Amino acid sequence: CGNKKQKTRSGLQHLPVELIEQICDEKRSFNLYHLFGLRLACRELNHKSLNIFAKSAFERLVLHLDSVSLQRFKSISQQPALASKVEWLLFSDYDRHGFNSLEDYEKARQDATSREIPRKARRKAIEALRKAHIEQDDKDYIERSGTDSIALALALQRMPNLRTFNIMPYDLREDRISIRRRQTGTSPTTSRNFSVLAAALEHAERKIHELNVWWVGHHGKDEGISVQALVMPWSTLQCFSQLRSLDLWLQTRDNLYRSEWQRNQHRSSCEGSRRVADIETDPRHWQRGVANLLMTTTQLRRLRLGFRNHWEDTESVFEHIAKRVVLPHLESLTFDYLRCSGESLKTIIGTHTGLQTLDLDSMDITGNVPFSATLDLLAEKHKSLTSFDCGQISQNSYRLYFRTLGKIEQQDSVFRNMGRFSDDANNGPDDFLNDLVVVDVFKYHGSAGEWEGVQDKIAKLRDDIRVSNKHYTPEYDFGGYQWTREP
């Protein structure tokens, strides 16, 4: 029965034109207005179904910065019924014809010229290489010409409801190897995608409400925007002035920028003069870029700031943020994977006393101001705080722990859950287990209702905190403590 019904529905669109004309002619002969009614009913049905279809299919879009995807994006923007439904956009640098590994690419090159494999396999390898090189040539042209920024800006002008943007460094399904990555050893996609977005927003005179830079794991070298990419003109920074939510993963070291800076430094010392190129690539120049961006986002409600690679270089970057950034409407704040001085951490938290949620994770606090001073400040000043999450904190590179609420120990259950790390290419299973140190979060089983509010709990932590003799290794540590006010 079900199959018969489905067959009938699918056959309606295949009715002969003569039969449809006969139905319409009968409506007209009986009463002309009945034919008008049929037309209006069909148009209304089409209009209502189009709205539902457009919202379902075009509300969230993924955009690859190549000619095919840009052309499709342009076509969507030229249809108002579809363009008005777009609210969420993800940038991805997925290579359609990339290779799953460098070994696959080298094998395809060998197969393309080998006489020892069947002709069909040889033709397949040649075709794969041809498509990969064509796609890379296409991307190189787009980057040189700025076509992606132009096309995106034109489309944004016709998409009034597009306010949320996401940047992903590579396709989530597989870490595909493009020709550029094979040739240069780097893939500066995240920083470049951000620059493309910033330029397009300025040309389109658009302001966005939400920006998320995705972190998809430990596999990519380019998981985060280079802090140098955040050095932008004032007019471009204004495109982010209406941000309500910002999830920002950064990297302080960019292989391309850093190597150029070192070459310039060497040349300057030889020539005895400091050139403009040195200033442009000197980390001391562009470390202010993060603070400049955040100073613009005065409407921000939620901020997550993390440094995926080389988090140990973040102290000077964070110092600029602490001294200059004031976000009067900030409600939720997360710091993840960074090193900062205790004074800077205390300053920025003390500036934002209206916080409701605070998450401090994988941090190394340096200097003479201890983490306990920050806990004192939270307990005394932050009366609006309803949730506090603290995990993997160290003081001058030595792990902190809570004497009665938790302890440092090897935990076998974690090893069973993390078996995928045991076959690491650089370390054997024994080396991995010896290096891994986990904070035991299961010793304390008390519920949040045992204490009166988050401030009292934080005061308890302040008295319970201790410095261990264990060094801080954030890459493999997942322990944490979290307390939330009971409803």
Q: For residue 87, is it within any domain?
A: no
Helix axis angle, 17-30 to 32-58, nearest 10°: 130
Count Cβ atoms below 10 Å from residue 288 Cβ, excluding itself: 18
In a domain, 85, yes or no: no
Give this prediction's pTM: 0.73
Q: Is residue 36 situated within a structural domain?
A: yes
38 domain-assigned: yes
| Distance (Å, whole) CA 292 – CA 286 | 10
Structural element, H or E, at residue 165: strand 164-167
Q: What are phi and psi of 306, to 5 degrees?
A: -140, 160
Residue 143 sits at the vertex; the CA angle it makes with 205 and 286, to the nearest 5 degrees, is 70
* 46 part of a folded domain: yes
Q: What is the pLDDT of residue 351?
A: 96
Residue 109 has what pLDDT? 83
Cβ 304 vs Cβ 331: under 8 Å: no
- Extract long-range pairs of 413-419: CB within 8 Å, 24+ residues apart: 414/438, 414/478, 418/476
- pLDDT tens digit at each of 487 positions of the chain: 444 444 444 455 666 766 676 676 666 666 666 667 777 777 777 777 777 888 888 999 988 887 888 889 999 999 998 999 999 999 876 555 566 666 777 888 888 888 888 888 888 888 888 887 777 777 777 777 678 889 999 999 999 999 999 998 654 434 444 554 444 434 457 888 899 999 999 999 999 999 998 875 544 455 688 888 898 999 999 999 999 999 998 888 665 444 343 444 444 444 444 444 444 445 556 678 899 999 999 999 999 998 866 666 789 899 999 999 999 999 999 998 889 999 999 999 999 999 999 988 888 899 999 999 999 999 899 988 888 888 778 888 887 777 765 444 433 333 333 333 333 444 444 443 343 333 333 333 333 444 456 777 787 778 888 887 766 554 433 444 444 443 3
Residue 40 lies in a domain: yes
Decide if 48 is inside a domain. Answer: yes
Burial environment of residue 313 by CB neighbours within 10 A (0 to 12, 13 to 18, 19 or more): middle
Question: Number of C-alpha atoms within 13 angstroms, CB side, residue 383?
Answer: 1
Domain count, the chain: 1
Q: Is position 315 within any domain?
A: no
Task: Provide the domain limits for residue 45.
Answer: 28-57
